[in-house]
Amino acid sequence: MPHLLHLDSSIDPTRSRSRAITAAFADAWRERGEDFTVTARDLHARPVPHLTSAASHWAPRLRQPGDVQPAEESARQQELLDELLAADALLVGAPMYNYSLPSTLKAWIDHIHVPGVTAPFDTPDQPMAGRPAVVVTSRGAVYDPGTATEGWDHTVPPLRLILGASLGMEVTVIATNLTLADTVPALAEQQGRADEELAAAKAEARRLALTLL
């Protein structure tokens, strides 16, 4: 039974473009049949607390003497790890906030990026290697090559690094720009591009959902 883990992190439950695109993906995934199941986790509605112990970053065998992981944190981390490891595909809604990840998504990353468990350290652990990860990012302005804001996107690069290089997943990015074109006067003249990119992103999300695996 192909199983999808669907994460959203936008703080806007109604107007979010990242949520609209991930919803298009998840809907198309379910259309493939009853065997195509989904676990959805809304990191805004149910935020994951930040780690409180350095022990939580490491596999138990790699912890320093005296490091003690709080029981509640251990249980929470194991729940998140179990959800990820059970997924045949990962879908991540990752809007850009202040040029970086939403803190709720970063907290999730900190729980599941565990050297010696999901990422290599003293052994070549990469249980998610080869599985697809689709990152859906939405950005208020534009970050095109050659513009003054080129290189300001610090949302997608760390996700490529963590999910791709470290966990070994096959990362695909769906991006849409100018999400603020309908509210910021300086961007209003680019509303057409914003609408076109959103439509294209939804179409690409559906295409991927219907063809992955």
Alpha helices in the chain (DSSP H): 17-31, 71-85, 103-112, 156-159, 191-211
Residue 24 in contact with residue 134, Cβ under 8 Å?
Answer: no
Q: Does this model's pTM top 0.75?
A: yes
Q: Which domain holds residue 16?
A: 3-61+72-211
Question: How many C-beta neighbours within 10 Å does residue 186 have?
Answer: 9
pLDDT in tens, the chain (213 residues): 899 999 999 999 999 999 999 999 999 999 999 999 999 999 999 999 999 999 999 999 999 999 999 999 999 999 999 999 999 999 999 999 999 999 999 999 999 999 999 999 999 999 999 999 999 999 999 999 999 999 999 999 999 999 999 999 999 999 999 999 999 999 999 999 999 999 999 999 999 999 998
Within-domain flag for 67: no
Residue 91 is predicted with a pLDDT of 99
Taking Cα atoms as reference points, which of 135, 91, 89, 81 lies closest to residue 113?
A: 81
- Structure tokens belonging to residue 194: 């914003």
Q: Report yes or no on 160 lying in a domain.
A: yes
What is the DSSP code (8-state) at residue 119?
Answer: B
Is residue 44 classed as helix, strand or coil in its secondary structure? Answer: coil
pLDDT of residue 166: 98
Residue 141 domain-assigned (yes or no): yes
- Residue 103 placed within a domain: yes
CATH number of the domain that residue 155 is part of: 3.40.50.360
Instruction: Please state the domain count of the chain.
Output: 1
